[in-house]
Structure 1
């Protein structure tokens, strides 16, 4: 496995761990705030986009004939390949890719 891929997986693991710790902290706060009998509605979190999810969308658009446009969008986000795109940019990338189908 390449060093960049290892680093990307480590970063993803750290983000998942941070989210889990945050969830536990919220639960503990709710349990010990004196209002444990009144369940609070927590906002529903959107699932994080994963590389595989984005890859599936890009592959579908590529099959529809948008390969050149996808390469240009990847370059816009500073990468030659999807694995080089910062996961923080996945949502914006997908929004740009959706625009290709309507162009």
Structure 2
């Protein structure tokens, strides 16, 4: 793995950690605010998990490509109507990432 891709992955992990800390702080603030009723708890339970970013999907695909799945990744990109990851609609990032994660299962 190159130093640049290591750095990019480290930066993305830091961003994810910061987002998780921020979410936890918001939850705690809602729990202990003066307006303490059942709604903050209900909101916390119904929160969606954050959508994947282009960088997160790119990291997954890069890992799979290095593991020898380059041709399969090209096929997956075509499945989602693109020749490159940047051409994939962001609403498909989650499904594309799950499909890529399953590539090792077929080995």
The TM-score range, normalised by the shorter chain, is 0.5 to 0.7
Q: Which runs of 5+ in 2 are unaligned?
A: 1-34
| Structure 2 SS opposite 1:45 | coil
How far apart are the structure 1 equivalents of 2:87 and 2:55? 13
How far apart are the structure 1 equivalents of 2:96 and 2:38? 37
TM-score by structure 2 length? Answer: 0.60
C-alpha displacement at 1:98, in angstroms?
Answer: 1.2
Question: Which aligned runs of 4 or more in structure 1 are off by greater than 6 angstroms?
Answer: none
How far apart are the structure 2 equivalents of 1:76 and 1:100? 14
Aligned length: 68
Q: CA RMSD in A?
A: 1.2
Partner of 2:87: 84
Partner of 1:29: none
Contact 2:77–2:88 (Cα < 8 Å) also in 1: yes
How far apart are the structure 2 equivalents of 1:56 and 1:37? 40
Q: Select which of 47, 51, 56 maps to 1:53.
A: 56
